[in-house]
């Protein structure tokens, strides 16, 4: 979905909450473009030959202490009605977007966006695809309801591409290797789990099928760094993150990361596994 003016205000409030919650956060934001991907859908609520945006926001969190990094592609949506986060929905959503981020099929980028086809498919944890629903709590403050996309399921009637999603009451068993936050009910919970590297898929791990995605990510970050430097914006976080990625092989890439914005967050957390 595209940002409306209202969605943009909710998003800025969310980002401001990150900065206010901890002086340990160091954040850099990069503006991108809305890029679409092609994939094979089920042919019901998502077209068989589906095409949609990858996500609104790409979030990279890393810690030089634990030498870990996490990546998630977030789709943002504002809930206009006052919401009780404990009910877990229903949330209005584009069902093709949900299928893409929850089922994580192989993808093909459109135009200048050239991601590895297995960027989502071979991620270690499903929270590489996720949703945030912005809402107002009872005092009228902006809050963020976060959920890994695979936690959402269809509820109620739907048409092709649009419908309602809900969170199940039962949580899946945790990963035996990595800690993963599946649902966060407000800004504080979401920010805390970001800071402790529990949101998103691990970027630094030995799985051979992920190496192409890791190499692409490093090359894309280098391109973003060069673009920023040319515009007078020198990054202090990208060089440190690139050291952690330590990708010896390089692939040709552009600064197109597949979302409207990319946020890089430096954490001082000492664990993320």
Q: Which two tokens stand for residue 257?
A: 């990361």
Per-residue pLDDT, 59 = 93
* Tens-place pLDDT, residues 157-204: 787 788 889 887 667 766 668 899 999 988 888 888 988 999 999 998
Residue 125 has pLDDT above 70, yes or no: yes
pTM above 0.75, yes or no: yes
Strand, coil or helix: 110: coil
For 91-115, write each residue's pLDDT tens digit. 888 999 999 999 999 999 998 889 9
Angle at 193 between CA 224 and CA 201, to 5 degrees: 55
Give the pLDDT confidence of 204-254 residue by residue, as tens digits.
887 888 888 998 999 899 988 888 887 778 888 999 999 988 754 555 567
Q: How many CB atoms lie within 10 A of CB 202?
A: 22
Q: Give residue 3's pLDDT band: very low, low, confident or very high (50, 70, 90).
A: very low
Q: How confident is the model at residue 116 (pLDDT cuts 50, 70, 90)?
A: very high
d(CA 28, CA 15): 11
Residue 29 DSSP SS3: strand
Which two structure tokens, joined as six digits, stand for 62? Answer: 């890393």
Confidence check: pLDDT of 31 > 80: yes
pLDDT in tens, 60-99: 999 999 999 999 999 988 766 666 777 777 888 899 999 9
């Amino acid at each position: 979905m595209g940002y409306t003016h209202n969605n943009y205000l909710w998003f800025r409030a969310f980002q401001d909450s990150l900065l206010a919650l901890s002086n340990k956060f160091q954040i850099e934001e990069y503006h991108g473009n809305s890029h679409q991907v092609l994939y094979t859908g089920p042919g019901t609520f998502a077209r068989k030959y589906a095409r949609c945006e990858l996500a609104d926001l790409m979030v990279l969190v890393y810690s030089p202490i634990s030498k870990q990094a996490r990546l998630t592609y977030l789709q943002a949506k504002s809930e206009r009605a006052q919401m009780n986060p404990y009910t877990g929905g229903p949330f209005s959503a584009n069902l093709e977007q949900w299928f893409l981020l929850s089922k994580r099929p192989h993808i093909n980028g459109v135009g200048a966006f050239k991601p590895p086809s297995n960027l989502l498919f071979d991620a270690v944890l499903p929270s590489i695809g996720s949703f945030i629903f912005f809402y107002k709590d009872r005092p009228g403050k902006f809050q963020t309801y976060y959920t890994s996309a695979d936690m959402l399921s269809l509820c109620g009637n739907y048409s092709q591409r649009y419908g309602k999603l809900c969170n199940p009451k039962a949580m899946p068993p945790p990963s035996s290797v990595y800690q993963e936050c599946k649902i966060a009910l407000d800004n504080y919970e979401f920010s805390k789990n970001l800071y402790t590297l529990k949101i998103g898929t691990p970027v630094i791990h030995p799985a051979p099928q992920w190496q192409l995605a890791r190499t692409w990510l490093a090359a894309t970050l280098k391109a973003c760094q060069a673009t920023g430097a040319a515009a007078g914006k020198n990054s202090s976080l990208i060089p440190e993150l690139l050291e952690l990625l330590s990708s010896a092989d390089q692939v040709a890439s552009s600064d197109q990361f597949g979302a409207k914005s990319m946020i890089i967050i430096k954490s001082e957390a000492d664990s993320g596994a």
